[in-house]
Amino acid sequence: MSRAEHANDIRLISPAARDALQTWLNHQRSLKGAAENTITAYQGDVADFLAFITAFKAESQGLAALAQITITDMRAWMARTRGPDVGPRSMARKLSAVKAFYRWLASREGFEPTAVLSTRAPKYQKKLPRPLAVDAAKALIDCVEIQSDRPWVSARDVAVLTLLWGCGLRISEALALTGRDAPLPESLRIFGKGGKERMVPVLPAAREAVENYSRLCPYPKTPDAPLFRAIRGGPLSARSIAKVMADARMQLGLPATATPHAMRHSFATHLLDAGGDLRAIQELLGHASLSTTQAYTAVDTARLMEVYNRAHPKAG
C-alpha cells in the first residue's frame, strides 16, 4: 500500500476507532516491546481493515459498530484484500494483526469477538530456511574479500559476513554495532527484535575479522558512531551488503537464495549438523518461540532424505 492510500484509509476511520487503534499500537510498543517495523505493519493492516469495514457498511464505524462485525464482513474483507500482490502468507499476517487488535479491543470494551477470532487464515506452505553449504559459505566470504579495490571495504564486508555466519546475527544486528563494541569481546550483548537481549559467543575468526577491518578503516572509531561505515563515512546499509553478496553469488554460480540472511540460516543449520542443542540454538538466534527454530530440523530431515533417496540400494 502506498503512503497516499494509507493516508486515505486513516481518514475513512472514525475518530473513536482511530484513537483505539493508536492506543493499541502504543500498548504493543511500550508493554509488548514490539519493534517499529512491526508497529508500522500492524498500523497499515488494521487501518486497511477498519477503512474497508467503513466503506463496506457505508457508515461510520464507531466502537459499538465494530463490536457487531460478522463472519460475512470478515469474508468480504478477505475477498477484497486477496489478490496478485497479497498471497496467502501476507493475508494470514494481516488477519493475525486484525485478530490481535480485536482481542485487545474486546477485552477493553467488553464484547465477544467470536466472528473475528474464528475467521480462518488461508492455508499456505511454510518456506523452509535456505542455508548454504559450509564450502559455499566459505567461498562467498573468500570472493567478497577480493571484490573491492579498497582494502578497508573488503575487510569490512568480510567482517560483516563473518559475524552473520559465525555468530548468527541478523544483518540489522550486525549493522547496529557501534565503536563501543570493538574490539569484540568473547561474548557480545545483542538487542534483537522487540529489544530482546541475548548474549552471543564470538568466535576468534569473527573477532579477528572485525579487528582487521577496524585497523584499516579510514574513519575514526568513536563510541557512538556505527562500527561499519559506508564509503563516505556514514552508516553502512543492509542494501549495500545485499549487493555485495549478489555480486559474489553471481561469480560463484550460487542461487538467489544466497542472501545475507542465508548466512544466519547457515549458522543455525551448521550448528545443528554438529549436534547442537535446539534450545541453545534458539537462544543464540534470539527466537521468541522454539517452533521458529524447529524449522531447521525440517531442513536437516529434508537433506537427510535426499541423501537416503540417492544412496539407499532400494531407492533406485
**What digits encode the pLDDT tens for the residues 62-91?**
888 899 999 999 999 998 888 777 778 788
CA angle 305, 306, 308 (to 5 degrees): 60
Confidence of residue 297 (pLDDT cuts 50, 70, 90): low
Q: Are both 3-117 and 134-309 of the same fold?
A: no
* pLDDT at residue number 83: 74
Clarify whether 124 is annotated catalytic. no
Interacting residues of 79 by C-beta distance below 8 A, sequence separation 6+: none
Clarify whether 270 is annotated catalytic. no
* pLDDT at residue number 84: 72
What is the CATH T-level fold of the domain 134-309, as seen in this structure? hpI Integrase; Chain A (1.10.443)
Q: Percent of the chain having pLDDT more than 90?
A: 40
Confidence of residue 300 (pLDDT cuts 50, 70, 90): very low
Please tell me which residue in 42, 102, 213, 296 is annotated as part of the active site. 296
Element (H or E) spanning 187, and its range?
strand 187-191
3-state secondary structure of 288: coil
What is the average per-residue pLDDT within 34-48?
86
Clarify whether 312 is annotated catalytic. no
- The 10s digit of each residue's pLDDT in 98-117 is 999 999 999 999 999 999 99
Please tell me what DSSP assigns to residue 193.
G
| CA pair distance 163, 200, nearest whole angstrom | 11
Q: Give the type of residue at 275.
A: G
What is the CATH T-level fold of the domain 3-117, as seen in this structure? DNA polymerase; domain 1 (1.10.150)
Please tell me which residue in 193, 219, 221, 303 is annotated as part of the active site. 193
Clarify whether 264 is annotated catalytic. yes
Please tell me which residue in 170, 198, 229, 270 is annotated as part of the active site. 170
Q: Please say whether the dihedral angle defined by the alpha carbons of residues 140, 143, 148 and 150, taken in this order, is positive or negative.
A: positive
- The 10s digit of each residue's pLDDT in 22-39 is 999 998 888 767 777 788
User: How would DSSP label each residue in 245-265?
Assistant: HHHHHHHHT--TT-SHHHHHH
What is the average per-residue pLDDT within 5-12?
56
- The 10s digit of each residue's pLDDT in 187-222 is 888 887 666 778 888 888 889 999 999 999 999 989
| CA pair distance 28, 44, nearest whole angstrom | 14
CA angle 220, 226, 231 (to 5 degrees): 70
- Mean pLDDT for all residues in the chain: 80
Clarify whether 193 is annotated catalytic. yes
Confidence of residue 271 (pLDDT cuts 50, 70, 90): low
* pLDDT at residue number 261: 80
What's this model's pTM, rounded to 2 decimal places?
0.56
* pLDDT at residue number 157: 95
Please tell me which residue in 94, 229, 249, 264 is annotated as part of the active site. 264
* pLDDT at residue number 166: 79
CA-based diameter of the chain, in Å? 69
Please state the domain extents for the chain: 3-117, 134-309
| CA pair distance 83, 62, nearest whole angstrom | 28
CA angle 95, 90, 62 (to 5 degrees): 35
